[in-house]
């Protein structure tokens, strides 16, 4: 099984553990992730705030390269990159004129026929839960995980074409086959505020606070994410919230594939869990030891 792989900028920097765990999981399952050569930034929110055609051309160039390389499907870990690529494909498919203009701008023939999937959907739907379960050797028994999808993986639903936009379950289902206990909670698709925490910290901090608080009151021991920016906000901002809002957050946050990789037998150090802002090693060790005891019982 082979996919074009578009990591995006974050996975080369602040989200490097996401990239590492994606590749470890894929390797263990015999999935070949082939990085798109000479890829560029998708433009994220910056490009479409400035120039609409630029916002389409940047993702289209990456997709056109993947098409030219002969791939049928591209796997995209970053939720923002996924959303920009899906939006570009939808606009190109609905307008031959737009598709032609995009091709002219990027100097390549963009067909807009490559399948675009989040890495979450590749793992949970294409590879499948049974295949994931077959590779679990260190179950995360009893670990209470709040699966956090954020806003861009499932909305707008006609473009994302991913899961139930109000109550997506693919990550919850993955957590369950790892041996963890998915937590029912009300903020799984709420926006984390993205970069708003920088220019308007009061609003951004409140959005992050509400997500963490809802996970906490519903019994979560950890949060799993599928977006590198969500990961930054939820992991890095907890200490700041505790100081400024008087909270007591100390909840480990994971890229969802980090938890998959742990259950596949990779060590926390191999995955990069020691790089997290909120210490997560002891929680992981407790979950793995609980799973080992129950397996041996």
DSSP per-residue string spanning 229-256: HHHHHHHHTHHHHHHHH-------EEEH
**Structure letter (DSSP) for residue 181:** E
In the chain, what are the domains? 2-120 (1.20.1050.140), 136-296 (3.40.50.11810)
Between CA 194 and CA 227 the distance in angstroms is: 10
CA 197, 83, 261, 35 torsion-angle sign: negative
| pLDDT given for residue 292 in this prediction | 59
| pLDDT given for residue 137 in this prediction | 96
| pLDDT given for residue 297 in this prediction | 47
Between CA 126 and CA 72 the distance in angstroms is: 13
Between CA 121 and CA 124 the distance in angstroms is: 5
Mean pLDDT value of segment 40-69: 94
| pLDDT given for residue 295 in this prediction | 59
Give the 3-state secondary structure of residue 119.
Answer: helix
| pLDDT given for residue 97 in this prediction | 98
20 near 26, Cβ under 8 Å?
A: no
234 near 223, Cβ under 8 Å?
A: yes
- Evaluate if residue 293 carries a pLDDT over 70: no
Mean pLDDT value of segment 253-273: 97
**What tens digit of pLDDT does each residue of 173-206 get?**
999 999 999 999 999 999 999 887 888 888 999 9
Tokens of 122: 């590749």
| pLDDT given for residue 23 in this prediction | 98
160 near 154, Cβ under 8 Å?
A: yes
226 near 171, Cβ under 8 Å?
A: yes
Higher pLDDT, 45 or 120: 120
% pLDDT > 90, the chain? 85
Instruction: Specify the pairing of strand 181-182 against strand 144-148.
Output: parallel
121 near 162, Cβ under 8 Å?
A: yes
**What tens digit of pLDDT does each residue of 152-175 get?**
999 988 898 877 889 999 999 999
Between CA 287 and CA 263 the distance in angstroms is: 10
| pLDDT given for residue 197 in this prediction | 83
Name the average pLDDT for the chain. Answer: 94
Element of type H or E holding 75: strand 73-76
Tokens of 264: 């596949």
pTM: 0.95
């Amino acid at each position: 099984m082979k996919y074009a792989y578009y990591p995006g900028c974050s996975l080369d920097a602040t989200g490097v553990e996401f990239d590492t765990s994606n590749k470890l999981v894929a390797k263990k399952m015999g999935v070949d992730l082939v990085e798109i050569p000479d890829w560029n930034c998708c433009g994220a929110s910056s490009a479409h705030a400035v120039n609409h055609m630029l916002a389409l051309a940047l993702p289209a160039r990456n997709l056109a390269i993947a098409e030219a390389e002969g791939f049928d499907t591209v796997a995209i870990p970053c939720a923002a990159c996924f959303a920009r690529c899906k939006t570009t494909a939808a606009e190109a498919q609905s307008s031959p004129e737009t598709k032609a203009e995009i091709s002219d701008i990027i100097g390549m023939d963009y067909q807009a026929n490559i399948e675009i999937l989040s890495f979450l959907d590749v793992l949970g739907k294409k590879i499948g839960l049974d295949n994931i379960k077959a590779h679990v050797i260190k179950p995360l028994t009893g670990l209470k995980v709040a699966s956090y999808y954020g806003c861009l993986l499932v909305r707008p639903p006609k473009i994302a074409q991913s899961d139930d936009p109000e109550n997506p379950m693919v990550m919850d289902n993955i957590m369950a086959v790892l041996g963890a206990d998915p937590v029912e909670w009300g903020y799984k698709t709420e926006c984390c505020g993205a970069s708003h925490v920088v220019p308007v910290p009061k609003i951004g901090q409140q959005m992050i606070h509400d997500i963490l608080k809802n996970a906490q009151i519903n019994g979560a021991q950890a949060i799993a994410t599928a977006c590198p920016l969500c990961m930054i906000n939820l992991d890095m901002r907890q200490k700041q919230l505790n100081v400024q809002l008087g909270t007591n957050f100390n909840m480990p946050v994971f890229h969802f594939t980090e938890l998959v990789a742990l259950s596949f037998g990779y060590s926390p150090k191999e995955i990069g869990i020691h790089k997290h802002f909120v210490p997560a090693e002891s929680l992981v060790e407790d979950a793995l030891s609980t799973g080992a005891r129950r397996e041996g019982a």
